[in-house]
Amino acid sequence: RAHAAETGSVHGYRDADALSRDELLELDVDVLVPAALEGMITADNAPRVRARLVVEGANGPTTPEADLILAHNGVTVVPDILANAGGVIVSYLEWVQNTQAYSWSAGEVEVKLRDLMENAYRAVADLAAERDLTLRQAAHAIGVGRVAEAHRMRGLYP
């Protein structure tokens, strides 16, 4: 912490080994969380990803080509649309509070967030298992289905 506070970075910290992007992504780990940049897992490095679970914390860290390779290699990918939705959900909960002139405690917001995230994951995982889809495919299918249903129910707004 002192090094990061002093230099503004972890780069150059003397008690650690520097790793390249690919070395980091290819570590023998159970869970890999690419949470910084888009397009980090590509068709070039995906065959060497050894994690069995990739949880996308960044927006779009896995290219479509890499996603196919990971799926083929039996790597479960929790897509960004599902894994990092917490901030959007909390923003929605804040909007609800503001429009209703109401306030929930931080604990109540955490419970609502957890329930929404768990229910979303459960729905995605169930559809993926039922239709033999990846979690990304199932999440997109649910999203497109919900938009189509809203369009059907409400009609097209100008």
Query: Which residue do the tokens 């955490």 mark?
Result: 110
Q: What backbone phi and psi angles, to 5 degrees, belong to 12? A: 85, 0
124 DSSP β-pair partners? none
Residue 123: predicted pLDDT? 97
Per-residue confidence (pLDDT) for residue 154, from 0 to 100: 87
| pTM beyond 0.85 | no
Q: Which residues of the chain have a pLDDT value below 70?
A: 157-158
Q: Where are the domains of the chain?
A: 18-80, 85-158
Domain 18-80 has CATH 3.50.50.60: no
Query: Tell me, what's the pLDDT at 58?
Result: 94
Cα(106)–Cα(103) distance, integer angstroms: 9
Residue tagged 């479960």 (tokens): 76
